[in-house]
Structure 1
Amino acid sequence: MLQKFLVNCLFTFFFIGFASAQLITDNPKVETVAKEVNLSSPYHTTLTFFYNLEESNYKPERASRALDFTGLEEEYDDEKLSVKLKQIFEGKGVIIRTSSIPNLPNYQDTTSGAPESVYFFDKSKMPGVFLEKVGKQWKFSSFTVSQIDDLHQQTYPYGTDRLLNLLPKIGNDEYLGLHLWQLTGIFLLILLVFVAHFFFTFVVDKVLVYFFRRVGYQKLGENYLLPVARVTSFYLIVMVLSLFLPVLQLPVEIWSWIVIILNTLKPFLITVIFYKLVNVVAVYFARLATKTESTLDDQLVPLMRKTLKAFVVIIGTLFILRDGLNLDIIPFLTGLSIGGVAIALAAQDTIKNFFGSVMIFIDKPFQVGDWITSGDIDGTVEEVGFRSTRIRTFRNSLMYVPNGKIADAVLDNHGLRQYRRFYTTLTITYDTPPQLIEEFVKGLKEIVLAHPNTRKDYFNVYFNNLSAYSQDIMFYVFFEVPTWPEELRCRHELLIQIVKLANTLGVRFAFPTQTLHMESFPEKKGLVPEYATESVYYQKKLGEFMQQEIHKKND
């Protein structure tokens, strides 16, 4: 699309009449004024210089009299320098309108901060080219004359200045408002654009795809690097056009717009290149994030990608305004800073939340998937954004909490626990003898030590209380598991083992009851179970239980 647009622009030159090289005027007396060398004002000097360098009135010896050579040690070819200066104006696309040039012999410039007796044509494109009053005459300053060779080299770099003398030898006959050498140059440039487009397309679509396939990065290359390479090829074509188009010396009113278009396309395409490179950088950091245990890094990558893209767009826009449209961005930045203060005052909460998100990523108080609690906040972290954090509650609803509030709050991060505590009280009946309680407690400790997910270096299982209706055994252990479902599984396994142990030993669990004692009859047996009085009996029972459990695990 870009090449088609540029080619269409070139074809329009075939239907444009060839105007004067740089001078735009509607004054019918210009020819009469310019026939004589008149340097009495900036207006007359400009007419004298450009009129005598037109093709129909070509007298460079007269035009060279508008140059000031005083104070210069080197010897210069006056006529060649005057022609080069006119070519600089043409190559830069500077339009000179006589209506805007002062016609005062004693003109004084009081706006630019430069010496008063000077006149600048276009300070943005040619800050070193200006007229200066020397005695009673206005001439191109000696500083301008000393800079002509350098400016000409900058305007026509890499030897393209030689084409300025080579192409006109093809012929100066006019067709469709353009000279034969210009039409020939346009044809050659169009041919060069198509050849360059074919070459870059071949390199990008064939060579690079083959290379990425050979090194094993075909997906990365096709999805991320090839788009960058294609935009880069467009940028190289624009550079080729900006290098050779000035040589064609096209009509100034058209060429000035082409200069704006080319100068705008350069920063625009560079911005697009860096915008797409952000995706490549994001893919690289995403791979690094997958190698870390923290899930907060995975959430940071998309935020980093959005931030970098926004930064590239802002910086690229400033360069487009400055280089493409020749706008002074300093007042814009100044106004933006003043407006930024007002916006900051009006959006204090938003800024607070933004810096809160920055502190979350720096301090890392939690990561995605952690269960956190703080006041009304109770749930699992799903996403951390620039403004708020999304938390999934245990009711399966979503809670959006401003990051500023989270940054200032006291958080209890259950997800960062190394161990998960399980504390319960096992109540057994009062008729349980001490020997049985001892063996039951030993069995509980053996269950904790045998479980694969319990903390072995610290747990508490003790007979520690006599309550109103039961004898209480404290069961205080820790699980080394990452999630709550895993914790529930471990609780289930331990409780099942405890019930099995109680059934094996004959331990009865107590619950709130009222017992009515009646006189025992000889022929009736009481409801209270009979317990063995020897601890050896219960030790034997405990050994049988542990042997059964070991046998089950081995099976």
Structure 2
Amino acid sequence: MEQWNIWLERELWLNVAIVIVATALIYSVLRAVVGTLHKRLMAWSKDQDGSWPHFIAVVVGRTSRVLLLAFSLLLALRLTELPGNWQSALSHTWFVALALQVALWVDTGVRLWSRSLVMKKSGSYNPVMTTIISIMILIVVWSVMLLSILANLGVDITALVASLGVGGIAVALAVQTVLSDVFASLSIGVDKPFEIGDFVVFGEVAGTIEHIGLKTTRIRSLSGEQVVCANADLLKQIVHNYKRMNTRRIVFKFGISYDTPSDKVRQVSEKVGDIIRATPKARFDRAHFLGFDESQLTFEVVYIVQSSDYNQYMDIQQEINLQLLDALRELDVRFALPRRDLRLVGERMPTLEVAGLPQHADTDTDGGTGDQRLPRFS
């Protein structure tokens, strides 16, 4: 009977009414403040996607209505006198509500950040790396929030943290190959040795990067097939990235005949320089008579192509070769051909007998007739 009398007390219902009215008023004020701030920030950041005002506006808009109502109720309960155990529970509830709301704000900020990087058209960010980093941050945020709430509620989390650490080590040892490729993907995303669309050469592979994944990188080779390489194995090799080559240094050689006079040899060097200087997107460096090779006078030419495009380089080299061919013809200078001279010193020339021709006796060195003959060729 006494328990029912408690519910009939006027003071209890008065406190309940005060809490309900105060909760409604406080909730309305908080909703109005949050809504006004969100609208002002969105209007300020209009047509400025990716700016800080837009970022803050989206985060503010993620404020939970349920948690706002919980905050309003907690503030209203302070207007009444509560027992000691209720005060302790109230303080724990404050922390839980605040931790959940902060986690929601951080979650929204991280997702918005990763989405803005992935959607950028510049291609300077690796979407796989961005996604992995955002997932790792979200895992850390929600794990810390959960552990903080449990610790605030009086739960001993020491054993839980230790077990998570041991379990993490066991999982890492079991999938260490996969993890090595994952961290290699992170390294590629952070260090950016190459990006999608770059032309790379390593080992016997030459092609264009098509996809940088969580475990593998896919390359479209020059012959047309797709080459799939593990990220960890790829980073262990020396990679030549030709997409980032601003200029190309070209060295080529050619040879002219040994019969060429020295004055024309000098003119050849001058002609080569004039040809390269007149060629668009080619910067002349040097052209020298390098040395005496087995069957030619060798020239070495160096010039710089002001482009990284391989096809354009080949067009320039072809034009230089054609003009060099015409210039040497004008100078009456011949390109060298493979040649070898044989000389017999201290011996007489052999006599060859051909069937059907009259035979003549050979004369020895002392005037006699030689009897030795080489085999006849018929």
Structure 2 length as normaliser, TM-score?
Answer: 0.65
Tell me if the contact between 2:256 and 2:333 (Cα under 8 Å) persists in the aligned partners.
Answer: yes
Cα deviation for residue 336 of structure 1 reads 1.1
Cα deviation for residue 278 of structure 1 reads 2.7
Q: Which residue of 1 aligns with 2:208?
A: 380
Cα deviation for residue 394 of structure 1 reads 1.9
The structure 1 residue matched to 2:23, chosen from 168, 189, 200, is: 189
Distance in 1 separating the partners of 2:302 and 2:248: 11
Tell me if the contact between 1:209 and 1:218 (Cα under 8 Å) persists in the aligned partners.
Answer: no
Distance in 2 separating the partners of 1:246 and 1:324: 24
1:348 aligns with 2:176: yes
Distance in 1 separating the partners of 2:260 and 2:286: 28
Q: Which residue of 2 aligns with 1:337?
A: 165
1:199 aligns with 2:33: yes
Cα deviation for residue 334 of structure 1 reads 0.9
1:227 aligns with 2:58: yes
Distance in 1 separating the partners of 2:21 and 2:289: 95
Q: What amino acid is the match of 2:137?
A: F
Distance in 1 separating the partners of 2:301 and 2:225: 34
Instruction: Show structure 2 runs of 5+ residues with no match.
Output: 339-378
Distance 1:364 1:193, change over 3 A: closer
Cα deviation for residue 418 of structure 1 reads 6.2
Residue range with higher mean Cα deviation, 268-277 or 429-438: 429-438
Distance 1:194 1:395, change over 3 A: farther
Q: What amino acid is the match of 2:51?
A: L
1:276 aligns with 2:102: no
Structure 2 residue matching 1:391: 3-state secondary structure: strand
Cα RMSD of the aligned pairs, angstroms, is 4.9
1:409 aligns with 2:237: yes
Q: Which residue of 2 aligns with 1:488?
A: 314
Distance in 1 separating the partners of 2:74 and 2:142: 20
Residue range with higher mean Cα deviation, 340-349 or 280-289: 280-289
Distance in 1 separating the partners of 2:70 and 2:335: 87
Distance 1:386 1:302, change over 3 A: closer
Q: What amino acid is the match of 1:307?
A: I
Q: What amino acid is the match of 1:268?
A: L
Q: What amino acid is the match of 1:494?
A: I
Q: What amino acid is the match of 1:225?
A: I
Q: Which residue of 1 aligns with 2:344?
A: none
Tell me if the contact between 1:426 and 1:474 (Cα under 8 Å) persists in the aligned partners.
Answer: yes
Tell me if the contact between 2:285 and 2:302 (Cα under 8 Å) persists in the aligned partners.
Answer: no
Q: What amino acid is the match of 1:212?
A: S
Tell me if the contact between 1:261 and 1:324 (Cα under 8 Å) persists in the aligned partners.
Answer: no
Q: What amino acid is the match of 1:266?
A: L
Distance in 2 separating the partners of 1:395 and 1:422: 25
Tell me if the contact between 2:273 and 2:284 (Cα under 8 Å) persists in the aligned partners.
Answer: no
Cα deviation for residue 319 of structure 1 reads 1.6
Equivalences for 1:167-186 in 2 at 5 Å?
172-173=9-10, 179-186=13-20
Identity %: 21
Instruction: Show structure 1 runs of 5+ residues with no match.
Output: 1-18, 21-53, 58-170, 513-555
Equivalences for 1:213-292 in 2 at 5 Å?
213=46, 217=48, 220=51, 224-232=55-63, 234=65, 238-245=70-77, 264-278=96-110
Distance in 1 separating the partners of 2:158 and 2:102: 22
Structure 2 residue matching 1:399: 3-state secondary structure: strand
Cα deviation for residue 335 of structure 1 reads 0.9
Distance in 1 separating the partners of 2:50 and 2:188: 33
Distance 1:288 1:472, change over 3 A: same
Distance in 2 separating the partners of 1:219 and 1:424: 51
Distance 1:399 1:181, change over 3 A: same
Equivalences for 1:108-127 in 2 at 5 Å?
none
Cα deviation for residue 197 of structure 1 reads 1.5
Structure 1 residue matching 2:141: 3-state secondary structure: helix
Equivalences for 1:492-511 in 2 at 5 Å?
492-502=318-328
The structure 2 residue matched to 1:299, chosen from 121, 125, 131, is: 125
Task: Give CA deviations for 1:354-413 in whole Å, capped at 9, x if unaligned.
Answer: 443455567665555544333243223455455333433223443332222123334444
Distance in 2 separating the partners of 1:218 and 1:418: 33
The structure 1 residue matched to 2:139, chosen from 287, 304, 313, is: 313
Tell me if the contact between 1:265 and 1:324 (Cα under 8 Å) persists in the aligned partners.
Answer: no
Distance 1:460 1:199, change over 3 A: same
Distance in 2 separating the partners of 1:399 and 1:342: 32
Distance 1:461 1:249, change over 3 A: farther
The structure 2 residue matched to 1:211, chosen from 27, 30, 44, is: 44
Distance in 1 separating the partners of 2:129 and 2:190: 14
Distance 1:374 1:324, change over 3 A: same
Tell me if the contact between 2:256 and 2:297 (Cα under 8 Å) persists in the aligned partners.
Answer: yes
Q: Which residue of 1 aligns with 2:359?
A: none
Equivalent residue pairs, number:
332
Distance in 2 separating the partners of 1:328 and 1:444: 83
Structure 2 residue matching 1:179: 3-state secondary structure: helix
Distance 1:460 1:247, change over 3 A: farther
Distance in 1 separating the partners of 2:116 and 2:259: 69
Residue range with higher mean Cα deviation, 501-510 or 489-498: 501-510
Structure 2 residue matching 1:299: 3-state secondary structure: coil
Q: What amino acid is the match of 2:103?
A: T
Cα deviation for residue 329 of structure 1 reads 3.1
Tell me if the contact between 2:129 and 2:186 (Cα under 8 Å) persists in the aligned partners.
Answer: no
Cα deviation for residue 337 of structure 1 reads 0.9
Q: What amino acid is the match of 1:208?
A: L
Task: Give CA deviations for 1:42-86 in whole Å, capped at 9, x if unaligned.
Answer: xxxxxxxxxxxx9749xxxxxxxxxxxxxxxxxxxxxxxxxxxxx
Structure 1 length as normaliser, TM-score?
Answer: 0.47
Cα deviation for residue 271 of structure 1 reads 1.6
Distance 1:208 1:360, change over 3 A: closer
Distance 1:187 1:236, change over 3 A: closer
Structure 1 residue matching 2:125: 3-state secondary structure: helix
Tell me if the contact between 2:99 and 2:149 (Cα under 8 Å) persists in the aligned partners.
Answer: yes
Q: Which residue of 1 aligns with 2:217?
A: 389
Tell me if the contact between 2:253 and 2:299 (Cα under 8 Å) persists in the aligned partners.
Answer: yes
Q: Which residue of 2 aligns with 1:323?
A: 149
Distance 1:480 1:437, change over 3 A: same
Residue range with higher mean Cα deviation, 332-341 or 316-325: 316-325
Task: Give CA deviations for 1:236-281 in whole Å, capped at 9, x if unaligned.
Answer: 554333322465789xxxx999998875543233122112223565
